[in-house]
Structure 1
Amino acid sequence: MAEIFGILNITTDSFSDGGKFLNPDDAIQQGTKLLQEGADWLDVSGQSSNINATLVSEEEEWRRVEPVIRYFVPQGVRISLDSFRPAVQKKAIEAGVRCINDISGFTYEGDRSFFKPAFEKHPGLKLIIMHSHNKNIAKYKSDLTPEKVVRKIQAFFRDRRSELISMGIPEPALHYDPGMGFFLSEDPMVSFRVLQELEILKLEFPQLMVGVSRKSFLGNVLGNLPITEREFVTLACELHLLRYKIPFIRTHNVLKLRQAEKIWNLCQEME
């Protein structure tokens, strides 16, 4: 059974739900809903990473996520922080966050000397290394092609794994997200090639996290399907992730994925 990370964007400009949960009470209500629907983790973000996002200050990013973290952590809820800024990551770990999901793959400039003592104190801490063609907020003008994308991702993961282990981080703590949609390329076939070759990535990096929820590449191959109409295509893609036994799936709609997972598993038992 996959561990599901329920997406909780506390931002003004996330591509799917920007502005909906900026108020702390609304964010807590949405987080509670995701947990009730079956989320194993809340993946909380105060900085949007979509292609049209605006960078906010570190102080503003932390101001957005702090009330949610402080509300859920004492209840034993597992929180993942979606942030690429070391200063924000440090505050989150100190506040009880036990997973850092970094779209830069931990390449963003900053002091990470806090990682080693953090892992000594909290051995269950996880780091998710995400690949992006520009190592930051999604951008246009990627040079990735379907033919070379998986090799590029593998090389990036190897480099980041080596550096993080050299910093004293235990290898089992490292998880890997190939990035999808504009994190790879505006060409949707680049993302589909990654999905087609998940077994290759899993062979070397079994601790894979994949998030396809409502992504542009799903809509683009169907004639620019609007975001509001991408629920079924998202679910079709997430069933593909279940088929390949991807251990961690990041999604907006936890309930639909949990329901589909149950039916999928029952169908497999019948074979």
Structure 2
Amino acid sequence: MAEIFGILNITTDSFSDGGKFLNPDDAIQQGTKLLQEGADWLDVSGQSSNIDATLVSEEEEWRRVEPVIRHFVPQGVRISLDSFRPAVQKKAIEAGVRCINDISGFTYEGDRSFLKPAFEKHPGLKLIIMHSHNKNIAKYKSDLTPEKVVKKIQIFFRDRRSELLTMGIPEPALHYDPGMGFFLSEDPMVSFRVLQELEILKLEFPQLMVGVSRKSFLGNVLGNLPITEREFVTLACELHLLRYKIPFIRTHNVLKLRQAEKIWNLCQEME
């Protein structure tokens, strides 16, 4: 079974649910719902990373996520922080977060000297290295093409792995997200090429995390399908991830994925 990361955006401008959970009580309620539906992790974000997002201060980002972290950690809930800022990452680990999901692949400027002692104190800590063509918030004008995207991702992952290992991070802690949608390119076929060649990536980087939930590339190939109508196409894509036994899947709709996973597994047993 895949470990499912339920997306909890505590932002004003996330592309599919911005503003819905900005109030701490609403965010906690949504987090509880995701857990009840079968999420293994809550992937909490206080800074949107979509193509139209506005950067907030580090203080504001932490102010948004802190109440949720403080609420769930004492209950034993596994929290992943979706943040590329080292100062926010450090606070989160100190508060009990045990996974850092970094869209910059840990390239964003800042002091990361806290990571090695954090691993010495918390050996189970995980780092998710995400690839993005611009190493930050999603942007237009990518030079990636379907023909070269997987090789570019492999090179990026190798570089980041090498640097983090040099910093004293244990290799089993490293997980890898190829990035999808505008993190790769406005051309949807770039994302589809990654999905077609997941086996190549998985061979070298078995600890893969993939998130396709409601992403632009799914809507764009269907005539600009609105975000509110991307649930079924998301699920079709997530079934593809299950087929390739991707170990970590990040999604908005945990319940539908858990239901589909159960049916998928039953069908496989019948073969």
The TM-score with structure 1 as length reference comes to: 1.00
SS of residue paired to 2:109: coil
Write out per-residue CA displacement over residues 245-264 of structure 1, whole angstroms, 9 at most, x where no aligned residue: 00000000000000000000
SS of residue paired to 2:266: helix
Query: For the residues of structure 2 that align with 1:190 and 1:115, how far apart are their CA atoms?
Result: 33
Write out per-residue CA displacement over residues 22-78 of structure 1, whole angstroms, 9 at most, x where no aligned residue: 000000000000000000000000000000000000000000000000000000000
Query: For the residues of structure 1 that align with 2:178 and 2:136, how far apart are their CA atoms?
Result: 13
Query: For the residues of structure 2 that align with 1:150 and 1:180, how far apart are their CA atoms?
Result: 12
Percent identity, please.
97
Query: For the residues of structure 2 that align with 1:4 and 1:16, how far apart are their CA atoms?
Result: 19
Superposed displacement of residue 104, structure 1: 0.1
Instruction: Return 5+ residue gaps in structure 1 as ranges.
Output: none
In the alignment, what sits opposite 2:265?
A: 265
Superposed displacement of residue 114, structure 1: 0.3
Superposed displacement of residue 12, structure 1: 0.0
Query: For the residues of structure 2 that align with 1:142 and 1:115, how far apart are their CA atoms?
Result: 31
In the alignment, what sits opposite 1:161?
A: 161
Superposed displacement of residue 172, structure 1: 0.3
Query: For the residues of structure 1 that align with 2:199 and 2:100, how far apart are their CA atoms?
Result: 24
Query: For the residues of structure 2 that align with 1:119 and 1:265, how far apart are their CA atoms?
Result: 35
Query: For the residues of structure 2 that align with 1:159 and 1:52, how far apart are their CA atoms?
Result: 28
Query: For the residues of structure 2 that align with 1:3 and 1:173, how far apart are their CA atoms?
Result: 15
SS of residue paired to 2:203: helix
Superposed displacement of residue 190, structure 1: 0.1
Query: For the residues of structure 2 that align with 1:246 and 1:115, how far apart are their CA atoms?
Result: 26
In the alignment, what sits opposite 2:216?
A: 216
Superposed displacement of residue 110, structure 1: 0.2
In the alignment, what sits opposite 1:30?
A: 30
Query: For the residues of structure 1 that align with 2:114 and 2:196, how far apart are their CA atoms?
Result: 37
SS of residue paired to 1:200: helix
Query: For the residues of structure 1 that align with 2:165 and 2:34, how far apart are their CA atoms?
Result: 33
Write out per-residue CA displacement over residues 171-195 of structure 1, whole angstroms, 9 at most, x where no aligned residue: 0000000000000000000000000
SS of residue paired to 2:100: strand
Moved beyond 4 Å, runs of 4+: none
Superposed displacement of residue 204, structure 1: 0.2
Superposed displacement of residue 242, structure 1: 0.0
SS of residue paired to 2:80: strand
Query: For the residues of structure 2 that align with 1:210 and 1:144, how far apart are their CA atoms?
Result: 18
Query: For the residues of structure 2 that align with 1:144 and 1:114, how far apart are their CA atoms?
Result: 33
Write out per-residue CA displacement over residues 106-151 of structure 1, whole angstroms, 9 at most, x where no aligned residue: 0000000000000000000000000000000000000000000000
Superposed displacement of residue 85, structure 1: 0.1
Query: For the residues of structure 2 that align with 1:115 and 1:193, how far apart are their CA atoms?
Result: 34
In the alignment, what sits opposite 1:66?
A: 66
SS of residue paired to 1:5: strand
Instruction: Return 5+ residue gaps in structure 2 as ranges.
Output: none
The TM-score with structure 2 as length reference comes to: 1.00
Query: For the residues of structure 2 that align with 1:199 and 1:116, how far apart are their CA atoms?
Result: 31
Is 1:256 the counterpart of 2:265 in the alignment?
A: no
Query: For the residues of structure 2 that align with 1:116 and 1:209, how far apart are their CA atoms?
Result: 23
Superposed displacement of residue 155, structure 1: 0.0
Query: For the residues of structure 2 that align with 1:113 and 1:128, how far apart are their CA atoms?
Result: 17
SS of residue paired to 2:175: strand
Superposed displacement of residue 268, structure 1: 0.1
Query: For the residues of structure 2 that align with 1:136 and 1:245, how far apart are their CA atoms?
Result: 28
Superposed displacement of residue 210, structure 1: 0.1
Query: For the residues of structure 1 that align with 2:81 and 2:116, how far apart are their CA atoms?
Result: 18
Superposed displacement of residue 95, structure 1: 0.0
